[in-house]
């Protein structure tokens, strides 16, 4: 599938990118060796655009393939990995500090997503997965107490409604997102709350963490400009972890089935198998009744254009999600609160420089949207299938 890169094609297909990202766990390394320097550079730069440079560096290092990468690109990937390592260790230290503060205040809490996988020691490399924030699940009735604890830790809350969690809490380069339910929409019914997500030791249950990641992947990958590559990375790390601990495989499947996500788990398992094993797309058979599954398959297919995973998929996402969610998203992007803009541009509270930022922010969003439209509408060169 990497053969497409040899053609005069500026954008590697998403499936090519995934196979490169998971080359340490599959045959992608041998395919990378057959590429020329220009194709390897294109592939690495495509990963950087998807904020996956640190993941690619980790995988290439484990596979012993860093020498294939041009020196200037290799330095950038190494810097991304080092920076990610430092930030992740800082986030993990901050989580343990906040967990102690929540415990002292008698607040139940469970980490979600990346932090949960770090705590469970599922992620093999602390510098691979970029982690931008701390996601924590608490009880709705504890909202005032949670806010009090975070304010006491010198966090300040941003303004504006968010569909999945409370408005974020920021302090320096730290962002904490407080969730009061793990699944904001769910095929099986009501949102899952904290009691179903934690184990007897008050930690996160791995099988429920996997179900949450699966839900997050599908709910997010059809409404954002690109695939949520780091969540696919998370699920592949879980796949490797479960392979070493087969006794928990049934728990993972049961949790997905209980949340009505079993067919989505099958789709992701098929995708990861395709990315890490020598399988052909024609042999990948999964249930495709769910429109989100079809969208994920289309977005990852060998014929997909990496840069075209923006406008078309975002428009489809807007059409499929509830109107209030779309309205909240547009308002947060086009009319964010003053505190949100101050945090985005690292301005001090009350700064008069916040007002010109609104104009620049709108122009930047318009420029990005125009670029997305051009990438979708511009005829693409013919692709020769292997």
How long is the chain? 386
Q: How far apart, in whole angstroms, are the C-alpha atoms of residue 150 and residue 285?
A: 47
Query: Which pLDDT belongs to residue 207?
Result: 92
Sheet holding 169-171, edge to edge: 110-111, 134-137, 174-179, 169-171, 156-157
Q: Across the chain, what does the average pLDDT equal?
A: 82
Say if residues 193 and 112 touch (Cβ distance below 8 Å): no
User: Which residues, 6+ apart, have CB-to-CB distance to 279 below 8 Å?
Assistant: 273
Lowest mean pLDDT among 65-74, 75-84, 162-171, 373-382: 373-382
pLDDT score recorded for residue 292: 76
- Rounded Cα distance, 362 and 365, in Å: 5
- Better pLDDT: 284 or 343: 343
Of residues 353 and 382, the one with the higher pLDDT is 353
* Mean pLDDT, residues 159-165: 71
> Residue 324 — very low, low, confident or very high, per pLDDT cuts 50/70/90?
low
Contacts of 365 (CB under 8 A, 6+ apart): 333, 334
Report residue 9's pLDDT band, with 50, 70 and 90 as the boundaries. very low
Report how far residue 306's alpha carbon sits from residue 23's, in angstroms, rounded to the nearest whole number. Answer: 19
For the cut 70, the answer to whether the pLDDT of residue 280 exceeds it is: no
Task: Place 136 in a pLDDT band, splitting at 50, 70 and 90.
Answer: very high
Q: What is residue 247's three-state secondary structure?
A: helix
Per-residue pLDDT at 325 exceeds 80 = no
| Residue 369: alpha-carbon gap to chain centroid | 21
Higher pLDDT, 105 or 365: 105
SS3 sequence of 2-34? CHHHHCCCCCCCHHHHHHHHCHHHCCHHHHHHC
Q: Which residues of 329-359 are buried (b: 16+ CB within 10 A; e: fewer)?
A: beebeeebebbbbbbeeebeeeeeebeebee
Q: What is the pLDDT of residue 202?
A: 67
- pLDDT average, residue stretch 154-169: 81
pLDDT tops 90 at residue 94? yes
3-state secondary structure of 50: coil
% of the chain surpassing 70 pLDDT: 81
- Give the phi and the psi of residue 381 in degrees, each rounded to 5: -60, 150
The string of pLDDT tens digits covering residues 232-252 is 999 999 999 988 888 888 899
pTM of the complete model: 0.81
> Residues 6 or more apart from 319 whose CB is under 8 A from it?
none
């Amino acid at each position: 599938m990497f053969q497409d890169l040899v053609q005069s094609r500026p954008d590697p297909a998403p499936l090519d990118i995934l196979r490169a990202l998971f080359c340490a766990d599959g045959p992608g390394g041998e395919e990378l060796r057959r590429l020329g320097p220009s194709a390897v550079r294109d592939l690495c730069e495509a990963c950087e655009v998807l904020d996956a440079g640190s993941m690619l560096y980790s995988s290439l290092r484990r596979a012993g393939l860093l020498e294939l990468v041009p020196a200037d690109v290799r330095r950038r990937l190494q810097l991304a990995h080092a920076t990610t390592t430092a930030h992740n260790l800082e986030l993990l230290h901050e989580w343990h500090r906040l967990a102690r503060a929540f415990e002292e205040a008698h607040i139940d809490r469970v980490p979600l997503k990346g932090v949960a996988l770090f705590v469970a020691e599922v992620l093999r490399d602390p510098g691979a997965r970029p982690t931008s924030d701390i996601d924590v699940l608490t009880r709705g009735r504890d909202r005032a107490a949670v806010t009090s604890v975070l304010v006491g830790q010198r966090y300040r809350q941003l303004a504006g409604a968010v569909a999945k969690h409370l408005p974020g809490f920021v302090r320096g380069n730290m962002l904490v997102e407080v969730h009061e339910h793990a699944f904001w929409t769910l095929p099986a019914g009501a949102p899952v709350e904290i009691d179903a997500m934690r184990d007897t030791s008050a930690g996160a249950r791995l099988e429920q963490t996997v179900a949450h990641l699966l839900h997050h992947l599908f709910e997010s990958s059809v409404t954002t400009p690109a695939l949520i590559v780091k969540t696919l990375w998370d699920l592949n790390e879980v796949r490797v972890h479960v392979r070493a601990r087969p006794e928990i495989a049934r728990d993972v499947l049961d949790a997905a089935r209980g949340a009505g996500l079993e067919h989505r788990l099958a789709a992701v398992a098929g995708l990861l198998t395709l990315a890490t094993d020598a399988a052909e797309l024609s042999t990948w058979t999964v249930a495709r009744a769910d429109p989100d599954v079809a969208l994920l398959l289309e977005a990852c297919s060998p014929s997909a254009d990496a840069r075209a995973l923006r406008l078309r998929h975002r428009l489809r996402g807007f059409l499929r999600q509830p109107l209030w969610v779309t309205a909240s998203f547009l308002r947060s992007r086009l009319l964010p609160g003053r505190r949100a803009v101050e945090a985005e541009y690292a301005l001090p509270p009350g700064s008069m420089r916040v007002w010109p930022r609104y104009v620049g922010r709108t122009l930047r969003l318009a420029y990005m949207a125009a670029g997305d439209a051009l990438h979708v509408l511009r005829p693409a060169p013919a692709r020769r299938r292997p």
